[in-house]
Amino acid sequence: MPYTEDQLDDFYYSTDGYCRYCGKKISRINYGSPEEIGAWVIDHVNPKNSRGSNEDHNLVPACYRCNSKKHKKTLLRWCRFLKNSEYSEDIKLFEKIIKNCKKYRDDICYIIRQVRDE
Ligand SMILES: [Zn+2]
């Protein structure tokens, strides 16, 4: 689904220009340009194949690394996957996601903290 520049602005500034998951700085002008520094996309928190909606509350700005690692998983499944991974890289990413959550108070944080506390 293509987004208008105004919508991209809204998503970008909703996090002050950081990946909603890991907190990495993203670059407004590098939306959808994976080869550029700070490239980002709009991620479905719950993907469309899991009945996730196209409404704003289900959409967040995400860096390419998070988006490609999460792929078609729901946020809940992805967090569990990272937390229980045998790779320290995944566990470190989950720790970043937890830390970045301090900036927000919403359902996304609720899910992340739920997995942290399992
Ligand atoms: Zn990220």
List the chain domain ranges.
5-116
Q: Where are the beta strands (DSSP E) in 45-95?
A: 59-63
Residues flanking ion ligand 1, Cβ below 5 Å: 19, 21-22, 24, 63, 66
Note the pLDDT tens digit of each residue in 4-62.
999 999 999 999 999 999 999 999 999 999 999 999 999 999 998 888 889 988 999 99
pTM here is: 0.94
Task: Residue 104: name the closest of 20, 13, 8 by CA.
Answer: 20
Q: Are 97 and 22 in contact (CB under 8 A)?
A: yes
Q: How far is the CA of 61 from the centre of ligand 1 (A)?
A: 9
Question: What's the CATH architecture for 5-116?
Answer: Orthogonal Bundle (1.10)
Measured between alpha carbons, how far is 115 from 112 in angstroms, rounded to an integer?
A: 5
Q: Which residues contact 91 (CB under 8 A, 6 or more apart)?
A: 82, 83, 85
Q: How does DSSP classify residue 52?
A: -
CA Rg value for the chain: 13
Ligand 1 centroid from CA 50, angstroms: 21
Q: What is the pLDDT of residues 76-106, one digit of tens each?
A: 999 999 999 999 999 999 999 999 999 998 9
| Cα 96 to averaged position of ligand 1 atoms, centre (Å) | 9
Rounded to the nearest angstrom, the distance between the alpha carbon of 26 and the centre of ligand 1 is 9
Residue 82 makes CB contacts below 8 A (sequence gap 6+) with: 69, 90, 91, 93, 94, 97
Cα–ligand 1 centroid distance for 118 (angstroms): 22
Interval between CA 62 and ligand 1 midpoint (Å) = 5
